């Protein structure tokens, strides 16, 4: 299938976190089946309830609370997955790349589902979890000055003036599967929700595989502890990240304030 062969795990560094777990699928000359996805669950992944994860066909509208998407994952390990669908393919790969984090998010989702009163209602915590699950980007940093530039939306200073420091002391990792789908055809306006996590400088000396395993643990711990809201995430114009877009080496690229928006008064993050 041309679309599959041309698009899956492109050379862009945006897809780097998925290459290790998705290598077997890249060898296919067709869209993967559910059997292909499930064959990658070795070793198995377990939800917080102890259920073994599996990718299953999408069901109809849930009749009961325990039949909802996140509840089925938590209780039975069943991730409803459409085939020949980029959104669901990337969701499966994120499960494989960051199993501890997805497990932690799912447990928090199930907790929210169990405590919210009334069918169809959602709490702020669940909205924040969904926001990160779909559109989250982790920003790992060892330099507080760089992190403060990001929080203050000082995009020119961060991505151009301090470009080499960003390359050496920051790492941007897409988590949200919706962002991976959008990354197939990036566009000016392509923005994620950034979660900033501080690490030691030695983190950047690790191999890519060890970095991702370490990051999985850091994210899982973050989502397992305390309450979350959408205010915990910083808007991040992804095409500004060094190496992620051909035009971002030029100062004029950052003059587009509709994309590289300045911080609003009172909105700067203080973490």
Which of 125, 151, 168 represents a domain boundary (last residue)?
Answer: 125
* Span 44-62, pLDDT tens digits: 999 999 999 999 999 888 8
Q: List, in order, residues 6 or more apart from 199 with CB less than 8 Å away.
A: 140, 141, 142, 214, 218
Residues 90 and 169 in one domain: no
- In this prediction, residue 1 has a pLDDT band, given cuts at 50, 70 and 90, of very low
Specify if 265 maps to a domain. no
Which one has a higher pLDDT value, 72 or 23? 72
* Span 223-254, pLDDT tens digits: 988 777 778 899 999 999 999 999 999 999 99
| The token pair that represents 113 in the structure block | 């589902």
- Statement: residue 177 has pLDDT above 90: yes
| The token pair that represents 52 in the structure block | 């073994």
Residues 34 and 91 in one domain: yes
| The token pair that represents 67 in the structure block | 């039949």
Sheet holding 191-198, edge to edge: 170-174, 136-141, 191-198, 234-237
- pLDDT score for 80: 97
Residues 143 and 214 in one domain: yes
With beta carbons less than 8 A apart as the criterion, state whether 136 and 233 touch. yes
* Structural domain containing residue 99: 2-125
Residues 119 and 159 in one domain: no
- In this prediction, residue 65 has a pLDDT band, given cuts at 50, 70 and 90, of confident
Q: How many domains does the chain have?
A: 2
Specify if 8 maps to a domain. yes
Residues 93 and 19 in one domain: yes
Residues 121 and 142 in one domain: no
Which one has a higher pLDDT value, 225 or 204? 204
- Statement: residue 270 has pLDDT above 80: no
Smallest CA-to-CA distance from 241 within 176, 204, 194 is with: 194
Smallest CA-to-CA distance from 70 within 53, 86, 82 is with: 53
- In this prediction, residue 121 has a pLDDT band, given cuts at 50, 70 and 90, of low
What 8-state DSSP symbol labels residue 44? -
Specify if 271 maps to a domain. no
Helices (H), 63-189: 69-76, 86-97, 99-115, 124-135, 144-151, 155-156, 163-169, 177-183
Residues 112 and 191 in one domain: no
């Amino acid at each position: 299938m041309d679309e599959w062969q041309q698009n899956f795990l492109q050379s862009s560094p945006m897809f780097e976190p998925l290459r290790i777990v998705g290598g077997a699928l890249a060898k296919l000359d067709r869209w993967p089946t559910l059997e292909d996805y499930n064959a990658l669950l070795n070793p198995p992944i377990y939800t917080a309830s102890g259920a073994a994860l599996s990718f299953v066909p999408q069901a109809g509208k849930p009749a009961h609370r325990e039949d909802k998407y996140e509840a089925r994952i938590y209780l039975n390990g069943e991730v409803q997955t459409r085939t020949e669908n980029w959104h669901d393919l990337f969701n499966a790969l994120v499960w494989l790349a960051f199993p501890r984090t997805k497990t932690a998010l799912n447990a928090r989702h199930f907790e929210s589902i169990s405590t919210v009163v009334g069918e169809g209602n959602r709490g702020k915590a669940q909205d924040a979890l969904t926001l990160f699950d779909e559109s989250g980007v982790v920003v790992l940093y060892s330099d507080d000055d760089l992190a403060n530039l990001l929080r203050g939306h000082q995009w020119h200073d961060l991505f151009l003036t301090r470009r080499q420091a960003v390359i050496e002391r920051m790492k941007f990792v897409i988590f949200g599967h919706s962002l991976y789908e959008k990354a197939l055809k990036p566009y000016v306006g392509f923005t994620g929700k950034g979660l900033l996590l501080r690490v030691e400088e030695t983190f950047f000396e690790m191999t890519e595989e060890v970095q991702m395993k370490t990051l999985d643990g850091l994210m899982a711990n973050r989502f397992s502890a305390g309450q979350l809201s959408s205010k915990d995430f910083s808007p991040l114009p992804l095409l500004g990240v060094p190496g992620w877009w051909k035009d971002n080496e030029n100062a004029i690229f950052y003059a587009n304030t509709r994309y590289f928006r300045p911080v609003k008064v009172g909105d700067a993050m203080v973490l």
